Each structure stands twice: as structure tokens, then as C-alpha cells.
Chains A and B, each alone.
Chain A
Amino acid sequence: MLGSVVSLLAVMLTGFFLFRILPGDPVRTMTQGRAVTVEQLAELRRQFGLDKPLPQQFLDYCLGLLRFDLGTSFQYRAPVAELIAERLWPTVLLVGTGTVIAAMLGLWLGTRAAWRRGSVTDRLSTGVALTLWSVPTFWLGLILIVVFAGGLGGVLPHLFPTGGMASPGVTGFLPGVLDVAHHMVLPVTTMVAVVYAQYLLIMRSSLLDEMGGDYLVTARAKGLRDALVLRRHAVPNALLPTVTLIFLNLGGVVAGAILVEAVFSWPGLGMLFYEALRVPDLPLVQGLFIFFSASVIFMNLLADLVYPLLDPRVRT
């Protein structure tokens, strides 16, 4: 608990200096290619607070944090907290859905693979998962777009939208939900395909570790059905490493799957971060950095709290 607070403080302090090292001049980037006078540049610098000396900027930043004020974005001219709140739910929706499906799929296939180790099913599903795991997200996303959205240049019908989260002009609740669901199919598929392998492999190997356990022999000797041995005895014990992974990944959920968001033009936090880095939009970058770190720290804390509930051995 204390550790979490300390890490968060460290993040807040480093967040400021870390991004000041970034090359580039936000004022010059924002006015790229425009006919601006020296006065205009000075005015922008003043509006961005970049005319003050660095210690003063740091002080303002710290005072702002105390008031939960993350500053104002250079390139959107809106409060950083507001921007994060705006982009949070698209990311949670996309990456959350993806992570849940990937975890469920991975756990389930992993269990099967371990239970029938060496069988055709095992080799096939592990092989497929590993292949997909090594595919670049960007590439897979584009292939799905070309095939299912672009229709291979007219060979196939246009089934799914190429990008974005919603079509402009769609009104009403049900049409709205359907529209977003329609936009989600390809990005979620891409995400799941690429990441489910890690759940599969961890579940498979930790279950294999348990398979030799004496308690399983005992369970079988009691006359339990095979399925019950698996479900009641083997899986619960093998679940721990996987739970750690899920929590770690849930912490990363808010950071988004930047590549998926980029290919599918998903208006989430990952894209926001990427765009902010290009300027560099310092308040926005700092705010997102703190926010991402805080989520990971929080999820780790949560994982520590959940362990004892899952595994009595940790309680002592």
C-alpha cells in the first residue's frame, strides 16, 4: 500500500522532467508552415506557460497536481483531465472487451491443451496461437481491413467499417449501440488474435506443473470424473499465474492498444498519447503518463489484495 503511494509520487516527479528531454519545440510544431510574427510566437509561448523558467514551471505543475489540475493541452486547448475522461471509455470498451475475450479464450484453450498434452488439438491450438502471437498487430489489422472492409478491391462485399468508433449521423440508442458494435468487430478480433496466446501458454504450462501432483491422483482415486478433477482441483491451482497476468494487463488496458487504435482510427487514449508525443504536447503527455502509471499501480495493488481470496496459501 505504502509502496504504491511512493511509486505514484515518483511517477509524478519524473513525469515532468522525463518529457522535457524530448526534442522539439511545441510552439514551432504548432505553427508549422504558417506565416507567424515574432510577437505571435511569444504570445503562444506565454499561453503555453513556456516563457517561465523551468523551476517555476515545475512549481506550477506540482501545485496543479495538488489541485488535481493536470494543465491545459497545447494542441487541443482543453483541460487534460477532460481530454482523458473523453477518451477513456472508447479505450476501456475496446481493450477491455478484447482482454476479457482473449483471457477467456486463452484460459480455456490452454486448459484443453494441457489436459491433452501432445494430442493433435494441443499441437494445433498452441501452434496457431504462437503464430498469431508473432504476427505484427499493425499488419494483421491492415489485412483484416483489406479483406473485410475494403473487400479485396471489390471481390468481397464491404462488411465492416474501415475505422472509427461510430458513424456520424447515427442517432438513437439502439442504432448507436449497434453502430459501435459494428465498428468494434475488426479491432477486437485483431487484438484477441494477437494476445490470447500469452494466456494460453501460461495456463497450459502452469496446468502441466500441477498435472503430476499427488492430489490429482488422490482425486481420481476417490472416483471423481475426469472433468471434475480438472475443474475442481487442477484448474484452481493453476490459475494464479494467469490471474497475475490478467491484472497486469488490465492495468495496461487504459494505455490502450496503441497499434490497434492507430490502424482502426479508434479515438482512444493510446492515440491521444501518440499524437501528444508528436508535438510534444507536454501537459497532455505528463497527464497521460501519470494516469497510465496510476492504473498499473492500482491494478497491481488490487492483484495483491485478490490473491489471498483465490489462494489460501498466500494468506499467512
Chain B
Amino acid sequence: MLLRQVPSRRRTPRRLTAVAAIAALVLAAPPAAAGADTAGGSGSTLTVAASQPVDSLSPFLAQRAISTNIHRLIYDFLTNYDAETNEPIPALAESWEASDDQLTWTYTIRDGLEWSDGEPLTADDVAWTFTTMMEDEAAATANGNFVANFEQVTAPDEHTVVIELREPQATMLALDVPILPRHVWEDVDDYAEFNNDDLPIVGSGPFVLTEHRPNQSITLEANENYWRGAPGFERLVFTYYNDQDAMVEALRSGEVSFVPDLTPAQADSLEGNDAVTVNAADGKRFNGFTINPGARTADGDEFGDGHPALQDRVVRQAIMRAIDKDALVETVHGGYAEAAEGYIPARYSDYYWAPEDGDRLDFDPDAANEMLDEAGYERGDDGVRVSPDGDPLTFRMFVHNDRPAFVQTGQFMEEWLADIGIEVEGNYVDPNQITDRLNNGEYDLIFTSWNVNPDPDFVLGIHTCDALPEQPGTMRSDSFFCDERYDELYDQQIQEYDPARRAEIVREMQQILYDEAVVNVLTYPDMLEAYRSDQIADIQVQPEPGGNIWNQDGYWSWWSATPVEAAGGDGGGVPVTAIVGIAAAVLVLGGGIGFLVLRRRSATAEDRE
């Protein structure tokens, strides 16, 4: 009897311990966790959630958006883009001048500039950066496209840079090339191997990169001497999250101050949160699909297995008339998008184009059916139309399976096209497979999406005959589109310096794309992002209004952001919550084990009786 009682008496306090530990776990953390966690070290810290790995910190090599965004912050460029209007504005170059034939550009470099190590920044650094990219193939890996047309770059004195061109080039005020410190870089042996990993990185931008833990965090410190003025926050930290939902939770808990790339559902779920501001910016991107017009090489050799009926423009236009873009905006994007008109998103009002009334290919299944009937595509017994050549209109569609919006759009399209007698086999596959299918011309419909820059040259260039492949397998083109008139206009716009005339040409090009219906845009999705308004008092969007925070052209958002004064950044090394959390976990674990050990002892005692 005694034996049975002793253990049970000892059991009770242990149980209490376990209960107490769980209680501690739930209750003990200070409610002011928000904000406190983001302040590591002293001073104000702005924490931004990131997900893409950095490919290289060398501006000569870096391709990825995260890397080029960071380069915007740690290096200065010849020119920048205005925060509100996106117009080119002075940066390192305080003024510039073009010769009458537009072939010689003279930039005047600002006085008194310094690198972050105290060395002076002069015209010589600028000339060296461009010249190296022109002479060394490895140095041209990332930004060689900007200097491909350069004849020579010189620095006659420390304030003057002269660029001589072979042909006029409209992008001379949009040279997105970080200027590098010659005194640090000229000793590098092989630019293909050099990742610029010596920290802190010697730069000239509003921030200095001081720490990089790959796929964990990137830390930038404010450059107090920056010529345009010091940034509002003393430190900017990019913290990595692999999972989008976890990222949103980190915003809720205040671990990060800013989260980009939200889904419509996530944006809606954050709308009611008082501490969070959701920014739905006009999209830079278009979502759409291209139709295989018959794949061929630059020499005109046909390849691939595109459906022959798709070479008929009537079929392509009928497909567009079967698609309800407004429904896609409402259902797929939850209203956070705009139904597309021309190729270039509405955000870029200068270049934006919408079709005239008579030319519109608006949603109208009846009209689409009529078009196909007239063109001789009769419906078969199973409701699927057959071309005059006897091919049933059964098309293979390839959709990126990692983008929910694409998948849903694809499913809608299967239904809508069935209504006009076109059977669609939806293939929802890995993006890499999409690339292979496109390059080999083995598709009928294939999804696509591009981020459009303020200068539309590149996205227009991917539909020229020039972009067709030398041989099947890989290419720069996105559609196998090739149209003589379009190419003529493309060459005109790149050499046109008058913005209004250039915009007119670009709009005419969009009309061709729209009419041919090979490259079809469906929506311009909003850029959804959110920040903690109890940590960030004020932040600049670009353009103003309606602009975005992440992925700006320039450093405006992070440079302009100011901390909320009252936020009690305690600045301690390990946040209090960490200690409480660990203590609670240890208590639970220890309590649990102790409890079980005692249970076992008591059990043995019972057995013994």
C-alpha cells in the first residue's frame, strides 16, 4: 500500500510542472514581440522578406532580380528613374548632352563623389566600367546588351565621360549598369569567377552591403554620406522565406516589415489587419499565351509539330473571341488585375494601346462560331470542328503548373474553347518543360508572362524575325512570330529619340500583334505587396500614384522609408521571446521526460505487487 502511494504523490508535482511549462509557453512571451524582433543590434532596421537565391554579387554576372535590386542599392548608376514619373533623372551624371547626329554622348559627372572606402569616384571609374564590359566577354555576361553598340568610352577629365556609338541608341538615359570602383576591380583575374564576396562591398549607393548569409539573410547598412541624403532606416535586412504562406505569417508576427508577391487570397486576408497596409500596385507584367503559327528557323526551315489550322489567322482570332478576360480578372485574380488590351500594360500610359471599336476581338462566342463557320471549319459529330483539310481542331495547351493563376486560366480556356467547337488538351507542367516545348516548337497554345520595363524595347524585340532560332532547340523569341512590317517598326523605334513619335510607333506595333493574334495577352495582374504600418511610417511607391514598392527602377522605396518613431526597438542581441520560447520548450521536454520516468517507476512498483 505504501509503495503505491509514494509514487503517486511524487507524480502530481511533475504533472504540475508539465502543465505549468505549457502555460508558460503560451502566456509568457511579451505581447510587444512585434518590432522588437526586427531590431537586431542598434538603430532602426527595416526587414524585407526575400525568396530568390542570389546568383552572384558581381554586377558583371548577376542575372536575378534579387541581385540586380541589391545592386541598385549599393552602387550608383549614371542616371536614375524619377520616383513619381519614371522619367530618367540625374544620378552620377548631373547632366548630359548628345551630339547632333546622336552618336556622341557627353555626361558630366557630379563633383565630390566618394566610394564607401573613402576613395574619390570619378569619370575614370565610369569609363573603366563600360570599357571592361566591351573588352572582356565575361564582364559582359549580365549587361553586355547595353554596350553592344558602343564604339568607345573615354574620360577626358575627371568630370567628363564621352560615349561614342556606332548607331543611334534610344536607351542612352536608361543604361542600367552599376558603376564599379576601378581601384578594387582592376586587379581581378577572371571576371567569370569573381563573385564580389569581399565584405563590406565597396560601393557608392545609399546602402553598403555588410553581410551575406546565402539563403538566410543579406544585411545592408545605410551610407550616411550618400549625396542624395542618408536613407531613413539605419539598416536594411533581406530575410529568406521559402514558403509564401510562412512569409505572410512572418509579416503578421512583425518579424518582417515588408512582403512582396502576395496572392489575391493572401492580400484579402491581410486587409483587415490594422498594423498592415496592403499595396495593390498597377502591374508591370502581362499574363497571356502564344499560339504556334508554325515554328521555323531564321533561315525559314520549318520544324516542330504545331497544328496546321493555327496558321490561319481566323482560327487564332476566333480563339481570342471565345475568352472572357473580365471573368478572368474577377475569378482568377479576385479583382486584383486589369483586363488586357494591348501588349504593354496600362501602367505605362505613354506606350499603352487599346484597339479601336471595329477591330476589337472582344468576348463573343457567337461571333467566334460564325467566323469559324464562314471559314469552313464544320462541326463534326462529337461537336469538335474539322478544318477544310480534314484535321480536327484539337489543340495541346501548355500551362505552368507552379502558377495558380495560369492553371485556373487554362481550365477556363478549356471550357470556353469547347463552346466554339475547339477541343483543348490542357497540359499543366513544370516551367522547364514549357521552355523545351517552346524551343522545339512542339505546342499549339503555350502560356507566357513578361515583366515589362519602362523602356519596352526588349519585350518588343522578342517577337522579331531576328529572334528566331538559328537552329531548333534554343532561341530568344517567345512566339515564332515574324512579320516584316513589325520588324521595320521595331528598327524605327529603337532609333527614334522623340518620345512622342517613338510611342506612336510602339503603339502601331501592338496593333499588329493584336490583329495577328499569335501573341495574346489576357490580364495585367496587380503587384500585391504589404508592409507593417506600425514599423514603416512612410514609403515611396513608383510611379506615384498606383505604383509598387518591390522591384522598382531605382532605390526609392528602401531609401525613402522612415521608421515609426514610437516603435520600441529594444536593440538587444537575442530577443526576449527567444529566451522565453526556449525555456518553455525545455521545460515541456524536461517535464515530459521526468513525468514519464516517474510513470514508469510507478508502473514497475505496481507490477511488483
- B461: chain A residues at CB < 8 Å are 35
Interchain CA distance A265-B53 in the complex, whole Å: 12
A47 engages B192 (CB within 8 Å)? yes
- A167: chain B residues at CB < 8 Å are 37, 40, 574-575
B239 engages A168 (CB within 8 Å)? yes
- B25: chain A residues at CB < 8 Å are 159
Task: Give the residue of A38, A169, A267 whose beta carbon is less than 8 angstroms from that of B219.
Answer: A169
Q: Given A40-B141, A157-B29, A158-B253: A168 and B40 within 8 A (CB)?
A: yes
Instruction: Say whether B457 faces chain A, with CB atoms less than 8 Å apart.
Output: yes
Q: Given A43-B137, A168-B40: A25 and B476 within 8 A (CB)?
A: no
A265 engages B254 (CB within 8 Å)? no
Interchain CA distance A164-B582 in the complex, whole Å: 16
B581 engages A29 (CB within 8 Å)? no
B241 engages A150 (CB within 8 Å)? no
Q: Given A168-B213, A265-B241: A158 and B37 within 8 A (CB)?
A: yes
- B54: chain A residues at CB < 8 Å are 76
- B217: chain A residues at CB < 8 Å are 164, 168
Interchain CA distance A145-B245 in the complex, whole Å: 9
A182 engages B581 (CB within 8 Å)? yes
Closest to A152 in B: B252
Instruction: Say whether B211 faces chain A, with CB atoms less than 8 Å apart.
Output: yes
Interchain CA distance A38-B148 in the complex, whole Å: 11
Chain B residues 443 to 464 lying within 8 A of chain A, measured CB to CB, are 450-451, 453, 457-458, 461
Instruction: Say whether B331 faces chain A, with CB atoms less than 8 Å apart.
Output: no
- A34: chain B residues at CB < 8 Å are 63, 142, 458
Instruction: Say whether B432 faces chain A, with CB atoms less than 8 Å apart.
Output: yes
Interchain CA distance A40-B253 in the complex, whole Å: 43
Complex interface bits, B384-422 against A, C-beta within 8 A gives 1, otherwise 0: 000000000000000000000000000000000000000
Instruction: Say whether B255 faces chain A, with CB atoms less than 8 Å apart.
Output: yes
B574 engages A150 (CB within 8 Å)? no
Task: Give the residue of A32, A158, A280 whose beta carbon is less than 8 angstroms from that of B254.
Answer: A158
B240 engages A24 (CB within 8 Å)? no
Q: Given A28-B474, A150-B249, A159-B25: A35 and B145 within 8 A (CB)?
A: yes
Q: Given A29-B432, A31-B63: A157 and B214 within 8 A (CB)?
A: no
- A162: chain B residues at CB < 8 Å are 241, 246-247, 249-250, 253, 255
Chain B residues 34 to 76 lying within 8 A of chain A, measured CB to CB, are 34, 37, 40-41, 45, 53-56, 61, 63-65
- B580: chain A residues at CB < 8 Å are 159
Instruction: Say whether A163 faces chain B, with CB atoms less than 8 Å apart.
Output: yes
Chain B residues 61 to 113 lying within 8 A of chain A, measured CB to CB, are 61, 63-65
B451 engages A267 (CB within 8 Å)? no
Instruction: Say whether B594 faces chain A, with CB atoms less than 8 Å apart.
Output: no
A172 engages B253 (CB within 8 Å)? no
- A39: chain B residues at CB < 8 Å are 137, 140, 144, 148
Complex interface bits, A1-38 against B, C-beta within 8 A gives 1, otherwise 0: 00000000000000000000011110111111111111
- B213: chain A residues at CB < 8 Å are 166, 168, 267
A78 engages B195 (CB within 8 Å)? yes
- A40: chain B residues at CB < 8 Å are 140-142, 144-145
A158 engages B29 (CB within 8 Å)? yes
B250 engages A163 (CB within 8 Å)? yes
A170 engages B240 (CB within 8 Å)? no
Q: Interface with A: B302-310, B340-348, B433-441, which one? A: B433-441
Interchain CA distance A29-B451 in the complex, whole Å: 14
Task: Give the residue of A37, A154, A182, A262 whose beta carbon is less than 8 angstroms from that of B242.
Answer: A262
Instruction: Say whether A130 faces chain B, with CB atoms less than 8 Å apart.
Output: no
Instruction: Say whether B17 faces chain A, with CB atoms less than 8 Å apart.
Output: no
CB distance from B538 to the nearest CB of A (A): 24
Number of interface residues of A (CB under 8 A): 75
Interchain CA distance A33-B286 in the complex, whole Å: 12
Instruction: Say whether B485 faces chain A, with CB atoms less than 8 Å apart.
Output: no
Looking at A43, A262, A263, which has the most chain B CB atoms within 10 Å of its CB? Answer: A43
Instruction: Say whether A306 faces chain B, with CB atoms less than 8 Å apart.
Output: no
Complex interface bits, A71-104 against B, C-beta within 8 A gives 1, otherwise 0: 0000111100000001000000000000000000
B435 engages A150 (CB within 8 Å)? no
Instruction: Say whether B604 faces chain A, with CB atoms less than 8 Å apart.
Output: yes
Instruction: Say whether A156 faces chain B, with CB atoms less than 8 Å apart.
Output: yes
Closest to B171 in A: A35
- B140: chain A residues at CB < 8 Å are 39-40, 43
Interchain CA distance A156-B240 in the complex, whole Å: 24
Looking at B145, B247, B578, B580, which has the most chain A CB atoms within 10 Å of its CB? Answer: B578
- A37: chain B residues at CB < 8 Å are 144-145, 148
Closest to A73 in B: B55
Interchain CA distance A37-B143 in the complex, whole Å: 9
- A262: chain B residues at CB < 8 Å are 242-243
CB distance from B480 to the nearest CB of A (A): 15
B243 engages A172 (CB within 8 Å)? no
- B253: chain A residues at CB < 8 Å are 149-151, 158, 162
- A261: chain B residues at CB < 8 Å are 242
Chain A residues 132 to 160 lying within 8 A of chain B, measured CB to CB, are 142, 145-146, 149-151, 153-154, 156-160
B61 engages A77 (CB within 8 Å)? yes
Instruction: Say whether B273 faces chain A, with CB atoms less than 8 Å apart.
Output: yes
Q: Given A168-B217, A168-B239, A182-B581: A43 and B573 within 8 A (CB)?
A: no
Instruction: Say whether A225 faces chain B, with CB atoms less than 8 Å apart.
Output: yes
CB distance from B609 to the nearest CB of A (A): 11
Closest to A183 in B: B578
A150 engages B144 (CB within 8 Å)? no
Q: Given A159-B584, A168-B219, A172-B573: A25 and B141 within 8 A (CB)?
A: no
Interchain CA distance A280-B430 in the complex, whole Å: 12
Of the A-B pairs whose beta carbons lie under 8 Å apart in the complex, a sample of 15, sorted by A's number, is: A29-B432, A34-B63, A37-B145, A47-B138, A150-B249, A156-B26, A158-B254, A159-B584, A161-B578, A168-B216, A168-B237, A171-B573, A182-B574, A185-B585, A225-B607
